[in-house]
Amino acid sequence: MSWSRAVLTALAVCALLLAGSAGCGSGDAHAGKGDRVSPSPVGKVLDNTDGQGRHYREVDKKGAPEVGIEVEPDAADDSWDVTLTVHDFRFSPAGVKPVAVAGRGTVRLLVDGRTVARLRVPEYHLAADLVPHGTHHVTARLYADDGTVWAVHGKPVQSTADITESAPQATPDGSKVSSSSSSSTPVQGSK
């Protein structure tokens, strides 16, 4: 009779082991084909935050995403055309899960530190009323899909262009022309 008790105990232990191992693993490992979500965390979330309180996500400089910005005046309506250049970064489509995936996310466009747009494409038309008379800083900053800021060496991955909107000037024929200029400067953390 003791051998049957030993067999039942062995079967119970096997059943517990099998049930326990079935729950192991990551739910992200079964993501759909298009999701390609990494089962491991990306980078390290830092205590540093941007102006809106979003934490920085530190990644190694090698292979880190980069962004460049070019802002040109649009003479047709006194607005500005913004063009971004990205490397090791791809824009996320709308509706993706709020999970950080290496080199993927959105770009926030800021004018003088205030967010004016969240971009999923590399072009944007900046309305004239967002850039009144004077000099302004237009910044493109990279964000992961979970809302963290991509960072390298503790600094956000971003690029800034300085633009100047001058007061309209009268021309000899009486019409008014606005004078605008821009220059671009990458900020540490990007090239």
Q: What is the pLDDT of residues 48-103, one digit of tens each?
A: 999 899 999 999 999 999 999 999 999 888 899 999 999 999 999 999 999 999 99
Helix, strand, or coil here: 80?
strand
CB atoms within 10 A of CB 23: 6
Three-state secondary-structure class, residue 43: coil
Give the span between the Cα atoms of 14 and 23, in whole angstroms: 15
* 41: CB partners within 8 A, 6+ apart: 100
Q: 139: buried, middle or exposed (CB in 10 Å: 19+, 13-18, 0-12)? A: buried
Residue-wise pLDDT for 108-137, tens only, equals: 999 999 999 999 999 999 999 999 999 999
Q: Are the CB atoms for 98 and 146 separated by under 8 Å?
A: yes
